[in-house]
Amino acid sequence: MTMSAIIGVTLMLAHYTGLATRRIRLPSLIGYMVLGVVFSSSALGVFDEESLEKLAFIPNLALGLVAFSIGLELNVGSLRTLGRGIIYIIFAESLMAFGVVTAAVYLLTSDMPMALVFGAMAPASAPAGTVAVIHECRARGPLTKALYAVVGFDDGLAIVIFGFAYAMARSLLVGEAGGGEASMLPELVGAAKEIGLSMLFGGVIGLLLSLLVARTKSGRDMLVLSIASTLIGIGISAQFHLSLVLTNMVVGFVLVNRQRESVVHEVMSQLANIMPLLFILFFSLAGAHIKLASLPSLGLLGMVYVLARSAGLVGGARVGAIMGRAGDNVRKYLGLGILSQAGVAIGLALVVSNEFTRIGSSHAVKVAGSVLTTVTATSIFFEFVGPILTKFALERAGEIPK
């Protein structure tokens, strides 16, 4: 069967699988992912490694547009209504997730480099799952607005935390291997460069898009320009190894804060027409990437990571909301909406695996293997459970219209 026919069959079956999961009050994306798992190389083998590599542009486009749509929700005026609480929440949930996971893994293994690396993985989130549930449920309210801000901005902070913790862990391992003291400065400079350039390029693209949209009256033309800008952001991010999410989120952020509300509303309306299609493809292919063989490697270390990360994110979000005097619903439920974790965490784990393996010591190789297998296995858990808890949080907060 040709690739186009496979995509067509996947779209059709995923659509009905999503409808079936909605009937049992689960988010549609769970159905899309289940179908992807069935079609994966772990089951029927419809999608092999070669076909997934050829289709990699689809998840990137979907994630870029998700980031762009997050930016469109971050109007400075509406963010002011959330107050300083959102800043407290972003810092508290990220730092507490790092701290709790690092402490828990160290208590279990007595291995500081391993503990630091697992702690560095914890703050990384997957905004696509959260945003997909919000779109599907048409949720609106303070909690929804806070979720958009947190899953958007904590990506930058997660990069900084990873750069810091990864540099410390690598320094310890290089010292053990007799290679002298490794400098932390290059890793920290690299993290700062990634964030700074992501925001710079995103700002420039956003300004250009804002100028072009201002001279456009057709909603269809606005959609074309928005997708083109997103693709430019994706390409630049890949070329210079920047954050795809942060770059495209800044594009949307600049647009929403420079254009009239009617223009932004038209762009969002046009995006709403194509996002369901992209969500089906994104989560079906995400399911096809899942390696069921990695689940047995979850083990005690994986369970500790899952529990510690969940406790750190939920507890940190609550502490930050209390410190920032956020609303009651934000305090109670925001932590449940930010647990999804997938591509970014696995990407960081691959970086750790490749770099630590090069060190060559048995300890470094052990840490590299443990991080990659455990984070891959736990991401499967978080990708399925995260959207379910997001929907539960939005329902409890009363922000899903009946």
Q: Where are the domains of the chain?
A: 61-283+294-396
Residue 50: band (very low, low, confident or very high) from pLDDT cuts 50, 70, 90? confident
Per-residue model confidence (pLDDT) at position 402: 73
Banded pLDDT at 170 (limits 50, 70, 90): confident
| 335-386 pLDDT per residue, tens | 888 888 766 677 777 777 777 777 777 888 888 878 877 887 787 788 888 8
| Nearest alpha carbon to residue 154 among 126, 184, 135, 131 | 126
CA 177 to chain centre: 34
| Residue 179 pLDDT greater than 60, yes or no | no
The CA distances from residue 58 to 34, 50, 158, 233, 242, in Å, are 18, 14, 24, 14, 18
Q: What is the pLDDT of residue 177?
A: 64
- Percentage of residues of the chain with pLDDT beyond 70: 93
Q: For position 229, what pLDDT does the model report? A: 94
Residue 82 is predicted with a pLDDT of 67
pLDDT at 181 over 70: no
The string of pLDDT tens digits covering residues 82-141 is 667 788 888 999 999 999 999 999 998 888 888 998 998 888 877 888 888 888 888 888
Q: What is the pLDDT of residues 247-275, one digit of tens each?
A: 998 999 999 898 888 888 888 888 888 88
Report the Cα–Cα distance between both ends of the chain, in Å, rounded: 42
Class of the domain covering 61-283+294-396: mainly alpha
76 or 17, higher pLDDT: 17
75 DSSP assignment: -
